[in-house]
Amino acid sequence: MLALATMNGLVIGAIYALAALGVSLVVGIMNVINFAHGELYILAGYFSYILADTLGMHFVLAMVLAVALVFLFGIFVEYTLIRPTYGNDMYSLILTFILSIVLQNAYLLIFGPYPNKPPGWVGGATHVFGAFYYGNQRLAALVAGAVVIAFVFVLVKKTWFGRIIRATSQDREMAELNGVNTTRLNMLSFGLGCALAAAAGVILAPVFPVTPTAGVPVALTAFVVVVLGGMGSLWGCVVGGLILGLVENLGAAYISTGYKHVFNFIILILVLLVRPAGLFGRREA
Amino acid sequence: MRGKKMSIRVLVLVLGLAFAVGSAWAQETIKVGVVGPRTGTAAATGKAFEEGIKLATDYVNAKGGVLGKKLEIVFEDTAGAPDKAASGFERLVTRDKVVMVLGESHSSSALAEIEVAERFKVPFIVVEAWADPITAKNYKHVFRAGPSNSGVVNETIAKWVVHEKFKKAFIVAENTDWGLGIAELTKAALTKAGVQFDFLVTERQSQDHYTELSKIKAYDPDVVLAYVYGTGLHYFVAQAGEVKLMPKAVVLDGAGPPSLWPDYWKNVGDAGDLECFVSSMHEKVELTPLATEFREAYVKAFGGPPTDYKSRSIYDSILIAADAINRAGSTDSDKLVDALEKTNLLVTRGTVKFGTEKGGPGYHQWDPPMLVVQWQKRQQVVLYPPEAATGKLMR
């Protein structure tokens, strides 16, 4: 039981981290909380389903195209909805909340209420250490999720674009004085945040089929991870996601399966009591 | 001459006015409300209800409507939330002036709605919310023309477990009024039948059931009684296949419709084969001529056979409501309750007669017959009751 709960905790934790990265990036750079994050995750799942299942495209191409389409949609949302609200965080919060409701209802109208699942990449299950069976699709999702997380770290920590992102998130005015076009950076960052939600969506849709409202718990968990790890911290997302995944599964294994998600909130409250800015968050000056 | 022209104009005007008023009178309808989730996690039920409503109103109005007027259904979305359900019910009564309300598929929502029904003295026929307290409260205006937890457990599930000679069962229930209620009744029934069992609760919103499934597997049961509704059931069955709980253990979907949803096979894959589920509908077993008529009308209207038995449940309840209104000869609440209590109507699932003895969940309750069906090579095979069986359990 311990081995399976730990392994499942790590897999689910990595999935949580991946879903939270996009939220963290947008909060860190733009100070915008995207309430429609979960619906963009679902949108990518639907795109992937249509392209791979209905149109018969290869699943890798379908996933890449789905992420690209959501990236473009994110840029469109930033340009039309978010940009006019800069300077007032509350407006962007309300607008993305409305967008989430509109998207949920649009999905219901277009795709119907039933769950949709793009084709899996691999079938069957692996007998891990001779102790338990674990779904191969989940293992593949873990690997794909780890690759995307590594890509984001390299992008942010090792590239010129990442240096601009970090500079702007630390001091926007100083970055502007040094010639950074922060308007364009906002647009690209928001698009990237949406693309990360989409990456999580296309990786997980073959494991957890998408429905019009399935994005709500995804977004809620992503927000918990971001707050737990510290607003805007990429390491915070990874550590926060893994902690949640492990606590949830070990709690379900040894205390009760009926309160799986309650354990998350207990951990969140305990951490915030000791570190109000989250595990890796910076204290406000 | 001029006076004659004026007279003609006045005559035309009067005739036109009379025609318009006459048309308006002819269009007057009797409104019946329906409550159910059209959005939220159980929006599939709303879709099934919409289909059943269309077929039932066409059927009733083609046979003369109610009290000589057309029957009109007003469908209020509850989103599966008790607060929205109660306010939606109240809107139907105060804004739309409905004479009766039908529907619902969430027990927690129905438990909120029955309080409103009783306060406004509006007859309410619950269709697919199974929790016993809905009728056990013995409210005068509350009826249920659909399965109750105690009926499904005591008449179908527990008897089937004994019939198949299962020795060890595992009960897994979602943390809702329906899930916890049906699990408690199952525990009592299995204890009485001498079947060994264990039990755990899972979260309704949970997508991942690996930990639950590893606990169940460690118990090594013959049968898993899964009281998990909606998409959660698809996750549960697919993951039960991944951890190799099946085919050694037989999994029973204790609700039914999710095992018949259009993308069931795509979502659960081969793990779906040999899964069992309870259902009041089977693709080849039709208990009454009206069931055949319903299927034919459904295929004609929607281009394929019904995929969720709740479309037929709401269809039946509309027929029951129309019959009661016609027999009452009035839309007066007391007369409607009286007529409903005297219902003796053949619908798609059998003959409806509501219990009138107070003191338990049988009051104002009609339990339709339920079947236990197994997927065998993607074909539905009825296992229970024996008189309706079309095959034997495969493992």
The mean pLDDT of chain A is 89
Q: Dump strand ranges (E) for B183-243.
A: 196-202, 223-227
Closest-CA residue in chain A for B217? A132
Its ipTM equals 0.83
Note which residues in 265-324 of chain B have CB less than 8 A from chain A. Answer: 266-267, 269
Q: How many whole angstroms separate alpha carbon B246 and alpha carbon B224?
A: 10
For chain B, give the percent of residues with pLDDT over 90: 76
- Any CB–CB contact under 8 A between A133 and chain B? yes
Q: Helices B43-62 and B289-302 meet at what angle, rounded to 10?
A: 110
- Per-residue pLDDT, B20: 47
Region of poorest pLDDT, from A2-11, B18-27, B85-94 = B18-27
The C-alpha of B53 sits at a distance from chain A's nearest C-alpha, in angstroms, of 18
pLDDT tens digits, one per residue of B113-132: 999 999 999 999 999 999 99
Q: Read off the pLDDT of each residue in A74-101 and give the average, rounded to a whole number.
A: 90
pLDDT exceeds cutoff 90 at B311: yes
pLDDT exceeds cutoff 60 at B15: no
- Per-residue pLDDT, B21: 44
- Per-residue pLDDT, A15: 86
The answer to whether the Cβ–Cβ distance between B269 and A4 falls below 8 Å is no
Residue B308 half-sphere exposure toward CB, CA atoms < 13 A: 28
Whether omega for the bond prior to residue B385 falls within 30 degrees of 0, making it cis, is: yes
A40: its two tokens: 């963009």
Q: Read off the pLDDT of each residue in A22-44 and give the average, rounded to a whole number.
A: 89
CATH numbers and ranges of domains, chain B: 29-147+287-363 (3.40.50.2300), 150-279+371-388 (3.40.50.2300)
Q: Are A224 and A271 in contact (CB under 8 A)?
A: no
pLDDT exceeds cutoff 60 at A69: yes
Q: Are B351 and B246 in contact (CB under 8 A)?
A: no
The answer to whether the Cβ–Cβ distance between B263 and A211 falls below 8 Å is no
pLDDT exceeds cutoff 50 at B19: no
C-alpha Rg value of chain B to the nearest Å: 24
- Cβ partners under 8 Å of residue B252, min gap 6: B157, B160, B223, B224, B225, B226, B275, B276, B277, B278, B372
pLDDT exceeds cutoff 70 at A73: yes
Interface test with B, best of A11, A102, A108, A114 (most B CBs within 10 A): A114
Q: Read off the pLDDT of each residue in B322-339 and give the average, rounded to a whole number.
A: 96
pLDDT exceeds cutoff 90 at B274: yes
- Chain A contact set for B244 (CB, 8 A): 125, 133
pLDDT exceeds cutoff 90 at B163: yes
Picking from B43, B205, B215, the nearest residue to A212 by CB comes out as B43
- Per-residue pLDDT, B4: 54
Q: Are B146 and B138 in contact (CB under 8 A)?
A: no
- Per-residue pLDDT, B384: 93
- Per-residue pLDDT, B33: 97
Residue A128 sits at φ, ψ, to 5 deg, of: -80, 125
Closest-CA residue in chain A for B201? A258
Pairing of strands B276-279, B345-347: unpaired
The C-alpha of A175 sits at a distance from chain B's nearest C-alpha, in angstroms, of 42
**Residue linked to tokens 């971001």:** A226
- Any CB–CB contact under 8 A between B52 and chain A? no
- Any CB–CB contact under 8 A between B208 and chain A? yes
pLDDT exceeds cutoff 90 at B137: yes
Per-residue pLDDT band for B293 (boundaries 50, 70, 90) equals very high
The C-alpha of B147 sits at a distance from chain A's nearest C-alpha, in angstroms, of 23
Q: How many whole angstroms separate alpha carbon A34 and alpha carbon A38?
A: 9
Q: How many whole angstroms separate alpha carbon A205 and alpha carbon B231?
A: 13
Name the nearest CA neighbour of B174 among B293, B115, B65, B255.
B255
The answer to whether the Cβ–Cβ distance between A209 and B234 falls below 8 Å is yes
- Per-residue pLDDT, B26: 47
Interface test with B, best of A133, A244, A263 (most B CBs within 10 A): A133
pLDDT exceeds cutoff 60 at A273: yes
pLDDT tens digits, one per residue of A200-228: 999 999 999 899 988 988 898 999 999 99
pLDDT tens digits, one per residue of B332-351: 999 999 999 999 999 999 99
pLDDT tens digits, one per residue of B222-265: 999 999 988 889 999 999 999 999 888 999 999 878 898 888 99
- Any CB–CB contact under 8 A between B259 and chain A? no
pLDDT tens digits, one per residue of A52-67: 998 999 999 999 999 9
Q: Read off the pLDDT of each residue in B280-299 and give the average, rounded to a whole number.
A: 86
Coil, strand or helix at B40:
coil
Chains A & B: contacts with CB separation below 8 Å: 102
The residue type found at B64 is: G
For chain B, give the percent of residues with pLDDT over 70: 93
Q: Count CB atoms within 10 A of the CB of residue B164.
A: 18
Residues A17, A22, A27, A29: is their CA dihedral positive or negative?
Answer: positive
More confident residue, B158 or A11: B158
B87: its two tokens: 């306010």
- Per-residue pLDDT, B9: 56
For chain A, give the percent of residues with pLDDT over 70: 99
Closest-CA residue in chain B for A112? B44
CA geometry: angle B220, B221, B223, nearest 5 deg: 150
- Per-residue pLDDT, A284: 53
- Any CB–CB contact under 8 A between A112 and chain B? yes
The C-alpha of A69 sits at a distance from chain B's nearest C-alpha, in angstroms, of 24
The C-alpha of B393 sits at a distance from chain A's nearest C-alpha, in angstroms, of 25
Per-residue pLDDT band for B92 (boundaries 50, 70, 90) equals very high
More confident residue, A85 or B75: B75
Note which residues in 59-88 of chain A have CB less than 8 A from chain B. Answer: none
- Per-residue pLDDT, B8: 53
Residues paired with residue B380 on neighbouring β-strands, in sequence order: B375
- Any CB–CB contact under 8 A between B43 and chain A? yes
More confident residue, A260 or A17: A17
CATH numbers and ranges of domains, chain A: 2-274 (1.10.3470)
